[in-house]
Chain A
């Protein structure tokens, strides 16, 4: 039979024996915890060992922090203050952790969750942009049939390895399927190119030649000419000054 302690302090407290059985308890203790005759039953399993080690008569007066389970089944972080009047008789007072601290901790957790959500949004956006970029790349070298003899491929944007990888299949497939022998690649709308991009481009060129195409390149701007020279990659591409010139020559 557990008797009641009548402290003047409004805090949960228990009188216990060395096996941590409850001998008496304050009203506040039963307001906070489910009625039981063993202190261990109201301690969170991960804190049990700590509580057992701390609550030994030989330790004398101790204060420590553990997780307990309240009436609602919620885990409660508490400070415990305990001591022993004899080998058989101990007292323990339980104070719930300062609410301010748990408020700060939950605030902290909310901030972390928000950062995580933002991170996820950014990741999704990045993936969407990568997809858009890929589609954009694939569309930036369309094959246009001018007549049965002439095909035109205007290239848009920058020329880098990624772009070449994206357009290569489409260009080769369209060139293979089209009957046109003369193929004009127009660089008017090309902004920037790098060495790897140009290397990939000359390789695509060789493949087009193997398909039996006569290839001409137009729209090369002075900055491209300079870069092509600098890259120093061997090529036998035939350059023509303008798209208008070459089309009028063929159409004549």
Chain B
């Protein structure tokens, strides 16, 4: 698998979207669905790219090109391999990144997995100011709010966002994902509303087996 990850990272860094799509297509045809593709190939490839920067082998500009290529490839794959039909179910999820958080690939992946499970998805992108988030949540009343956090120093912003959103009258469930999600300390009083998704397979499992509507979440699953 490491070989696949490094090869894909190379294609992202070279801006080779066609090559990446072709390579992923052979991988997907063989034995995998979207969740596996994301968890075992795309996410590790993007983490590997982060490591390359940390070890001074690429620049931030390279990282940006890789992210844009990855974004394009994911959009293409979802359009061509995504869920069939266009009539989403009754469950509504709103996804966004907290203010100043620029990482958004994980959010896009989560959006695909929600859509594949028949959810009605609103993807608001990264860097959404809290005030805008509150307005959007009030207007659309999603059953679930998905937040992504990629950097440790956004955790305080995340806490602020969660404390505010968990007090919304319709009590939405809140899911936290992203690279540093496991470092997040769930605020007291909001614990039965919050689920931390380790990865997309964990999120997929939660949707299929633990989510029962309403705000009570069984976090033992």
Contact = CB atoms under 8 A, between A and B. Distances in A.
B122 interface: yes
B61 interface: yes
Contact of B60 (A45, A77, A109, A116): A77
Interface residues of A, number: 21
B14 interface: no
B75 to A, nearest CB: 10
Interface in B50-66: 53-56, 59-61, 64
Given A54-B56, A65-B59, A108 B125 contact: no
Nearest to B120: A127
Given A46-B151, A108-B64, A120 B56 contact: no
B124 A120 contact: yes
A97 B123 CA distance: 32
- Classify the interface of chain A: helix, strand, loop or mixed: helix
Nearest to A47: B54
Interface string A37-58: 0000000011001100110000
B152 interface: yes
Interface string A103-133: 0010011001100100110010000000000
Given A45-B153, A101-B61, A116-B125, A108 B68 contact: yes
Interface string B57-94: 00111001000100000000000000000000000000
A64 interface: yes
A105 B67 CA distance: 12
A120 B56 CA distance: 38
A108 B53 CA distance: 20
A120 B60 contact: no
Contacts of B56: 50, 54, 62, 64-65
Nearest to B62: A65
Contacts of B64: 105, 108
A45 B180 CA distance: 14
B169 to A, nearest CB: 22
Interface string A64-99: 110000000000010000000000000000000100
A45 B68 CA distance: 25
A62 B57 CA distance: 12
A247 B50 CA distance: 77
A62 B64 CA distance: 23
A123 B122 contact: yes
Contacts of A49: 54
A173 to B, nearest CB: 23
B97 to A, nearest CB: 11
A109 B122 CA distance: 19
A42 B17 CA distance: 37
B55 A50 contact: yes
Contacts of A53: 55
A169 to B, nearest CB: 18
A95 to B, nearest CB: 13
Contact of B152 (A45, A62, A97, A116): A45
Contacts of A50: 53-56
A26 B15 CA distance: 40
Nearest to A126: B86
Interface string B97-121: 0000010000000000000000000
A82 to B, nearest CB: 12
Contacts of A119: 123
Interface string B130-163: 0000000000000000000001110000000000
A174 to B, nearest CB: 26
B105 to A, nearest CB: 12
Nearest to A101: B61
Contacts of B122: 120, 123
Contacts of A112: 125
Contacts of B54: 49-50
17 contacts: A45-B152, A46-B152, A49-B54, A50-B56, A53-B55, A54-B56, A64-B56, A65-B56, A77-B60, A97-B60, A105-B61, A105-B64, A108-B64, A108-B68, A116-B123, A116-B125, A120-B122
Given A64-B56, A65-B59, 4 more contacts: A45-B152, A54-B56, A65-B60, A112-B125
Top 10 A-B pairs, shortest CB-CB distance:
A116-B125, A64-B56, A50-B54, A65-B59, A77-B60, A105-B64, A101-B61, A45-B153, A54-B56, A65-B60
